[in-house]
Chains A and B, each alone.
Chain A
């Protein structure tokens, strides 16, 4: 007698699916309002505050946290540290989704999103930093897409196309590092045009350097943070190579992050010395600056060092999450908190609930896309039909 096959299906109404579903529905409703009634109906943006959290969070934080792609691929393919190979695909995927969502969020933020390609085809404005950011983000998103395609092509079984793309790996990695160096720093340099609007403790001629160096920390921390989440939720998808290398990746990246954070702290102090902004440390803003510097730079630096020294993965993973939060705090401070600090509180910006709703919606879309891709494509395991590249 034939034994009937019983398909074991996971329940569709898990708490995660319910919450994600509600967020997506609300996000879609806000999207309709945004594109039918405009920015005025959905945001608290004004002439004083033309950039809100869709820039401060979705773009500045999104780009920084997506830096894991160029950091990991550079370590593996340019510096030859092949022991990080298993971390490359997850990092590239996170980077690709991060940049795709940055561009998605930008469509909500700019008044006329259909004009986003204008810098390339109508008016180039090549002396503008925004042009450079636009060009680099567009190109780097394309690079990340091509870097990501081997996993998708393996999933689709397109061996010939996959073998062509794999040959481009080194060129794409070099291109990605160059583009990332350019636009990560340029995002900080954007604020150089407003020295009187940004609080002296955050304004510095070295803003471009700060953004670039902190993006390296963000990338390293995101790889550890995302790796720990993948380890917890997608453990069954990871092959032996990923499981074997995961701890070494976390330990090495923690050591590197500790080292870079130490350098970041020093250049921040040097920046204050250069602008002689010491007197501001006694103010309320100064206290908040010290919270950022001590709480989100020095402490992660110390705990990363302790974690790497003691080979304590628990400390490292918690520190990675804390550092990711620190990057959010830093970008919020530069883009929102310390910006327009001289305005009376009645003129200060606080996001409309629909702005927050869209930001949560965009992050949720990213998590759902990550979950779908990791579940279906060879991201956390090597496809048995293909050699590693």
Chain B
């Protein structure tokens, strides 16, 4: 049966392999998620602009 793990090698192969796949998928997913979050951020005065220079010392 494919789910059987008899050795530490089986366990590591399964868990590490899946982890690497998840990490790659997550990194790709984050790109789209960032675009989803930021694509309407053109209103710099409201969201992104900092205070004018000299406002703080």
- Taken together as a complex, chains A and B put the C-alpha atoms of A31 and B47 apart, in Å, by 47
* Chain A residues touching B, range: 20 to 34
A-B contact count (CB 8 A): 63
8 Å CB contacts to A: which residues of B22-40?
22-23, 26, 30, 33-34, 36-40
Inter-chain contacts of B19 with A (CB < 8 A): 270, 273-274
Whether A82 touches B51, Cβ cut-off 8 Å, given contacts A248-B46, A262-B30, A266-B22, is: yes
Interface string of A159-170 (1 = CB under 8 A from B): 000000000000
Q: Is the CB of A83 within 8 A of B49?
A: yes
Give the residue among B26, B30, B37, B47 with the most A Cβ atoms within 10 A. B37
Interface string of A4-27 (1 = CB under 8 A from B): 000000000000000000000000
Judged by a CB distance under 8 angstroms, whether B18 is at the interface is yes
- Taken together as a complex, chains A and B put the C-alpha atoms of A5 and B6 apart, in Å, by 88
Interface of chain B, main secondary structure: helix
Whether A83 touches B15, Cβ cut-off 8 Å, given contacts A248-B46, A266-B22, is: no
Inter-chain contacts of B57 with A (CB < 8 A): 387-389
- Taken together as a complex, chains A and B put the C-alpha atoms of A175 and B33 apart, in Å, by 33
Q: Is the CB of B22 within 8 A of A83?
A: no
Q: Is the CB of A269 within 8 A of B22?
A: yes
8 Å CB contacts to B: which residues of A34-79?
none
Closest to B34 in A: A259
Whether A305 touches B46, Cβ cut-off 8 Å, given contacts A82-B51, A388-B56, is: no
Q: Is the CB of A305 within 8 A of B22?
A: no
Q: Is the CB of A276 within 8 A of B37?
A: no
Partner of A258, one of B14, B37, B39, B47: B37
Q: Is the CB of A251 within 8 A of B37?
A: no
Please give the distance in Å from A275's CB to the nearest CB on chain B: 7
Give the residue among A80, A275, A276 with the most B Cβ atoms within 10 A. A276
Interface string of A217-257 (1 = CB under 8 A from B): 00000000000000000000000000000011001100100
- Taken together as a complex, chains A and B put the C-alpha atoms of A259 and B31 apart, in Å, by 11
Judged by a CB distance under 8 angstroms, whether A309 is at the interface is yes
Judged by a CB distance under 8 angstroms, whether A81 is at the interface is yes
Inter-chain contacts of B23 with A (CB < 8 A): 270
Partner of B15, one of A85, A262, A266, A274: A274
Judged by a CB distance under 8 angstroms, whether B55 is at the interface is yes
Judged by a CB distance under 8 angstroms, whether A197 is at the interface is no
- Taken together as a complex, chains A and B put the C-alpha atoms of A248 and B19 apart, in Å, by 37
- Taken together as a complex, chains A and B put the C-alpha atoms of A311 and B38 apart, in Å, by 11
Whether A309 touches B26, Cβ cut-off 8 Å, given contacts A248-B46, A274-B15, is: no
Closest to A267 in B: B26
Inter-chain contacts of A248 with B (CB < 8 A): 46-47
Please give the distance in Å from B57's CB to the nearest CB on chain A: 6
- Taken together as a complex, chains A and B put the C-alpha atoms of A247 and B11 apart, in Å, by 49
Closest to B40 in A: A309
Please give the distance in Å from B53's CB to the nearest CB on chain A: 10
Inter-chain contacts of B18 with A (CB < 8 A): 273
Q: Is the CB of A83 within 8 A of B11?
A: no
Partner of A276, one of B15, B34, B43, B56: B15
Inter-chain contacts of A276 with B (CB < 8 A): 11, 14-15
Closest to B46 in A: A248
Please give the distance in Å from A183's CB to the nearest CB on chain B: 28
Whether A255 touches B11, Cβ cut-off 8 Å, given contacts A85-B56, A270-B23, A387-B57, is: no
- Taken together as a complex, chains A and B put the C-alpha atoms of A389 and B56 apart, in Å, by 7
Interface string of A295-326 (1 = CB under 8 A from B): 00000000001001111000000000000000
Closest to A269 in B: B22
Q: Is the CB of A311 within 8 A of B37?
A: no
Inter-chain contacts of B47 with A (CB < 8 A): 248, 251-252, 255, 311
Q: Given contacts A273-B15, A276-B15, could you give 10 more A-B pairs where the C-beta distance is less than 8 Å?
A: A82-B56, A258-B37, A263-B30, A274-B15, A276-B11, A305-B33, A305-B37, A309-B36, A309-B39, A388-B56
Across the A-B interface, the 9 shortest Cβ-Cβ residue pairs: A266-B26, A273-B18, A273-B19, A82-B51, A276-B15, A388-B56, A309-B40, A305-B37, A274-B15
